[in-house]
Amino acid sequence: MNSENISVFDPDGVGVRNGNYFGMPFSADEAALVLVSVPWDVTSSYGGGAADAPEAIIEESSQLDFHDPWAAGEWRKGIATLPVDGEVRERSVRLRREAVKVIEALEAGGDAGAFTSEINEINAASAELNRRVEAVCGEWLGRGKVVGLVGGDHSAPQGLIAAVARYHGSIGILHLDAHCDLREAYEGFEGSHASVMFNVLRDVAGVSRLVQVGVRDFSESELRFAQQHHRVVQFTGAELAEGRFGGESWDSQCGRIVAELPERVYVSFDIDFLSPDLCPGTGTPVPGGASFDEAAWLLRRVVDSGRRIVGFDLCEVAPSDGSSWDANVGARMLFKLCGQALR
């Protein structure tokens, strides 16, 4: 696409299905923000399908209208779409079959030792994916772009987080999720979706703070890890609910959350942060959670405070059988993320 395409683009017209998120006409060279798709869903431990999210969200996003009163006109700075990597998708499908064998055996009381070769292959592939994502995202960060990532399961953005931290020197992560993702490994998989924040804290230099919001389904060992780790701050679902029941407003809670963040913020958004009626197909839905507007308001408050969103991901959107609802919600949350990152 070129500037001529932009000049004839009608944002109020019929949604265009051109293979880009939101049907935008921008090329990566001319856009301020570049979206990278990572259709990876190997280690999902309950429901699957998140690898289908990028293409499903692209499809549904063409029906979205562009006026966002909390980020009016920001999209005009340009939102570009890199092509979905078919090789990553194919490898995810193949390795997912191997992972399911391991998961089903363990759930039946089996021994992971019987699947050493499968686990090793998956761990090696996860590490390679991280390197691949870091290289691609680092290239566009180096060109002065904001980079957002659409997963895939929540292991997908580790490479982007590493690239953003390296480029900006020091960042804080605003982690919006029903889960802590602080397991050292899960089901033998070192690159598990349940381990991404543990891996980031261990392996990614430059992450000064991890602020977890809405976490409400986690193990006791994860809680101990968080309590003992000086870089982790948690606003659990239970704590936030108690505050609301006692009369504290969501805006006040957002103020307390934002105060824990440094100037440069990376947002890691697992869709199961939201109430499960908004994401019924996600791999591990959990009762409770935020409304769509509450999530959008928190993102706005981050930027209103003078902080910058320097990168983000949206993960674990998994289209429900026979329904476009999950991708519909995902597309709209992605647009909110883009708008606030461009402010």
Tell me the residue type at 165: A
Give the model's confidence band at 5: pLDDT under 50 very low, under 70 low, under 90 confident, else very high: low
Q: pLDDT per residue over 166-219, tens digit each?
A: 999 999 999 999 999 999 988 889 999 999 999 999 999 999 999 999 999 999
User: What CATH architecture is 24-342?
Assistant: 3-Layer(aba) Sandwich (3.40)
Q: Output the six-digit token pair for 315.
A: 């993960």
CB atoms under 10 Å from CB of 93, counted, come to 13
Give domain limits for the chain: 24-342
pLDDT at 2: 46
Cis omega before residue 138 (within 30°)? no
Span 153-157, mean pLDDT?
A: 96
Tokens 């659990």 appear where?
236
End-to-end Cα distance, the chain: 23
3-state secondary structure of 290: strand
Amino acid at 6: I
Residue with tokens 């000049």: 7
pLDDT of 76-109, one tens digit each?
999 999 999 999 999 999 999 999 999 899 889 9
Helix (H) or strand (E) holding 270: strand 264-270
Closest CA to 155 of 117, 188, 178, 189: 189
Across 295-310, average pLDDT: 98
Strands 171-176 and 264-270: parallel
On whether the CB atoms of residues 132 and 142 are closer than 8 A, the answer is no
Mean pLDDT over 234-241 rounds to 98
**108 vs 110: CA distance, rounded Å:** 6
Asked if residue 21 lies in contact with residue 27, where contact means CB atoms within 8 angstroms, the answer is no
- Per-residue CA distances from 132 to 29, 66, 99, 146, 148 (Å): 20, 32, 21, 18, 15
What average pLDDT does range 214-242 have in this prediction? 97
